[in-house]
Amino acid sequence: MSPVTPNFNLAAILPEILLLVAACIVLIVDVARQKRLPDGDVNGSASLSDNSIWRVDRLALMAMVPAFIALLLLFGTPTQYAFSRMVVVDDLATLLKICAFLATAASLTYARQYVRDREMFKGEFYSLSLFALLGQMIMMSASNMLVVYLGLELMSLSLYALAALRRDHAQSTEAAMKYFVLGALASGFLLYGMSMIYGGAGTLDLNMISQKLASGAANRTVFVFGVVFLVAGLAFKLGAVPFHMWVPDVYQGTPTAATLLIAGAPKLAAFAIVFRLLSEGLIGVARDWQQMLMVLSVLSLVMGNLVAISQTNLKRMLAYSTIAQIGFVLLGLLSGVVGGNTNSAPDAYSASMFYMITYVLTTLGTFGIIQMLARAGFESEDIHDLRGVGKRAPWLGFVMIVLMFSLAGIPPTVGFYAKLMVLQATITAGHVWLAVLAVMASLVGAFYYLRVIKVMFFDEPIDTAPIRPAADARALIGLNAALVLGLGLMPGPLMTACFQAIKQALGT
């Protein structure tokens, strides 16, 4: 009997290969650059005035271009498998990767001045950001539980290091320790759940697990126990209540540049693994994990919005806002299977996917403005620090209005349409009471979003320092606001792309 030749199909993972090369190039070039810096300039601040293309921030963005082009070429192609079906490349993975690329590039652009003022302008910051993106891409294309865990750990370890990059800052170090300890605990839950599912099915391949569940060949009792640990681990990564305790402390304690890298693109990867594990691999026990997601969704919507009201720190308020927004994402995920029927699954899951993408878009702009308002020795993290910003910088004030309206779900922003689609899917699934609860929670959430606008435009300024963001960051924040408005007025193309990607992934 001849040995089976493994199917590597390196062409399918060309974007990942190019991104890995890019991250290594950034790290190596930065080491060479450090040797040419003046004595005492260990952070490379002097090189910021250099217009050379070898400046590390510009190099990181340029190094991402080849991988991004490879992704665009893959979008719309038939589903491909690599490494003996351990990796899948479909439109779902490719669309999420494109969004993650854009989110990471925007995060690095917003962060340039911020990291310079805090002596974080280092090659490590940019190479770790790229390695975190690589981990996210692996998670999005995982068709095997081992690959899910490999991508998760690559992303998580990179983000832990980013959170702790400002080593001389006590609050940042404390937040990084909390993030690491609780993240390790979540990974343990996830790994233990995977091991139990492997014991029940005898395989780690998600397609084979789904087939064994459908045929009744798997041990259902072991599966249910495994699903409990799996959902708990996923809830940690999403930041859903009651596994949310790390989110407020990490958002507040880490430097804002790192906070955005944690709050933005990783949410897309988290959605991807939730969908891959539950909706593709474990669809046969949907009744069990849907009940768990329902509890997580209700708790997240209620607690996230209620606790956010009492927050005075803007980043901490946005952390609880994130928890509430995750509740909406879970609403879509739990509405896909109704009485064992999956006919409405593409509509529900695509609504959830659309919601997550647009939420990340809004988060980019919000944390981008926080970084623009900050300066050396001043973080601009407290809500009262925003007093009079609408008068001092009308353009940033207008953008913040658009972003807060979107988070609150006020038309004509994209947040309104995203909430509407999720609520429609929830009602279609027969969970009318859940939809009513979500609407009531959103009304509560509108209070703290509108409070930010009130402070910016109706309170007297307490700071007269000029606000002069860099030209590229200023242009990007304008584009960010335009997309939030544009997708609210014309959501069709993105919604269609999400729907088709989900249909292709489900094989329907």
How many Å is the maximal CA-CA distance in the chain? 81
CA-based end-to-end distance of the chain: 36
- What are the helix (H) ranges across 283-385? 286-309, 314-333, 345-373
Please state the length of the chain.
508
Question: What's the rounded Cα separation, in Å, for the pair 319 and 329?
Answer: 15
Taking Cα atoms as reference points, which of 379, 354, 288, 374 lies closest to residue 495?
A: 354
Q: How many CA atoms lie within 13 A of 126 on its CB side?
A: 34
Give the amino acid at 236: F
Give the amino acid at 309: I
Question: What's the rounded Cα separation, in Å, for the pair 291 and 288?
Answer: 6
Q: How many CA atoms lie within 13 A of 506 on its CB side?
A: 23
Q: What is the pLDDT of residue 38?
A: 53
* Prior bond of 412 cis (ω within 30°): yes
pTM: 0.92
**Which SS3 state, helix, strand or coil, does residue 317 take?**
helix
Query: Tens place of pLDDT for every residue, the chain, 508 residues?
Result: 344 445 677 888 899 999 999 999 988 888 877 666 555 454 544 444 444 555 788 888 898 999 999 999 988 888 888 888 899 999 999 999 999 999 999 999 998 888 887 777 778 889 999 999 999 999 999 999 999 999 999 999 999 999 888 877 778 888 889 999 998 999 999 999 999 998 888 888 888 888 888 887 777 788 888 889 999 999 998 989 888 888 999 998 888 889 999 998 999 999 999 999 998 888 888 888 899 999 999 999 999 999 999 888 899 999 999 999 999 999 999 988 887 777 788 899 999 999 999 999 999 999 999 888 877 666 777 888 888 888 888 888 899 999 999 999 998 999 999 999 999 999 998 889 999 999 999 999 899 999 999 988 888 877 777 777 778 888 899 999 999 999 999 999 999 999 999 998 887 6
Q: What is the pLDDT of residue 425?
A: 92
